[in-house]
Amino acid sequence: MTDRQPPVLRATGLAKSFGHVQALRHGELTVHAGEVVALVGDNGAGKSTLISCISGTHLPDAGEVRVDDRPMPLGSIKAAMEHGIATVYQGLAMAPDLSVAENLFLSCELRRPGLLGRLGLLDKKAMRERAWELMDSLGITTLQDVTLPVGDLSGGQRQVVAVARAVSRAGRLVIMDEPTAALGARQSQMVIETIRATRDRGLGVVLISHDLPRVLEVADRIVVMRLGRVVADVPARDLKIGQIVALMLGEQNDPREESLPA
């Protein structure tokens, strides 16, 4: 693979408490370019907290995040974005009244060339065209019109737009928090295909999901968390669903492991 290059992301020793609750005790995550790493664990295992520390939503109490072996300032969404990290949040982060194109470029709007652009005028045509190109390049065929309000789209379409936006902004790494939650089988498949297209662009992908069959379908490596710690980091091809569940529940030495339903 790309082992000779430094990993896109190396997070070490991340810890975060909320009041008395130690949500994250020892968070570690390494992601290489062109690799999908699935982050799995039971509810409250600390997955979302770990991701929030990496994406800048939370300021960790301890730990370090390096992007391309350069340290990244923590606790700032902007700093994370500037380091090429983009996040697809659970519950998305879309403005439903704005169009697909407007959402894709929200806070990164394209301006017109010349004086008009310096006055702040937007280049809406260029944004529509670039939105179209982006969708095409990710193999997204489900959208008819990038000028539709995002609120008029189906759940799967919205998710795909959210992923496309993250991909267009991420120079290095896309983090996706439950991208297939609440989606039907066909819509989930659409999202999984977009994740593959993202990886094939050479971006690192971190995927949080409870949907283990789909995780195994798309992930290259699986990182299991339990009680705020990373308890396993294994190539996906070496794992079966039953083994992942056992790791999540802390039963990895349990002899029943083999008989858990796949």
Partner 1 sequence: MTATQPTLRAPSNRARAGALIRSTPAYIVVALVALVVVFTIISPEGRFLDATNLQAVGRNSAGLVLLAVGLTFVLGAGHIDLSVGATLVLSSVVAGTVAVDIAGPPSASGAFPSAGPAIAVAALAAVVVGGIAGLVNGLLVTKLKVNSFVVTLGTMGVATGTAQVLTNGSNVAGIPPDVQTSFGLNSVAGIPLPLVLAVVVALVAGVVLSQTSAGRHALAIGSSSDGAMRAGVNVQRSTIAVFVISGLMAGIAGFLDITRFGTTAISGHETTMLQALSAVIIGGTSLFGGRASVLGSVLATFIPTMLLAGFVMVGVSSFYQNIAIGAVLIIAVWLDQLRGK
Q: Is 137 in the site for partner 1 (CB under 8 A)?
A: no
Residues 6+ apart with CB under 8 A from 83: 67, 70, 72, 171, 172
Cβ atoms of 15 and 52 within 8 Å: the answer is no
Q: Is 77 in the site for partner 1 (CB under 8 A)?
A: yes
* φ/ψ (deg, to 5) at 217: -70, -35
Q: Using CB under 8 A, which of 30, 48, 49, 103 touches partner 1?
A: 103
Q: Using CB under 8 A, which of 76, 132, 201, 260 touches partner 1?
A: 132
CB of 138 to partner 1, least distance (A): 12
Output the six-digit token pair for 20.
């008395």
Q: Which of 103, 41, 107, 18 shows the shortest CA–CA distance to 247?
A: 41
CB of 8 to partner 1, least distance (A): 20
CB of 142 to partner 1, least distance (A): 8
Q: Is 237 exposed, middle or buried (0-12, 13-18, 19+ CB in 10 A)?
A: exposed
Site string for partner 1, 150-189 (x = CB under 8 A): ---------------x------------------------
Q: Is 118 in the site for partner 1 (CB under 8 A)?
A: no
User: Closest CB to partner 1 among 67 and 89?
Assistant: 89
Cβ atoms of 15 and 62 within 8 Å: the answer is yes
* φ/ψ (deg, to 5) at 31: -135, 135
CB of 131 to partner 1, least distance (A): 8
H or E element in which residue 103 lies: helix 100-104
Q: Using CB under 8 A, which of 3, 114, 144, 238 touches partner 1?
A: 144
Classify residue 152 by its DSSP letter: G
Q: Using CB under 8 A, which of 49, 52, 87, 157 touches partner 1?
A: 87
CB of 221 to partner 1, least distance (A): 26
Q: Using CB under 8 A, which of 64, 136, 200, 254 touches partner 1?
A: 136
Residues 6+ apart with CB under 8 A from 149: 96, 97, 98, 99
Please give the residue ranges that form the binding site for partner 1 (CB under 8 A).
57, 77-78, 81, 87, 89, 92-98, 102-103, 106-109, 111, 120-122, 124, 128, 131-132, 135-136, 141, 143-147, 165
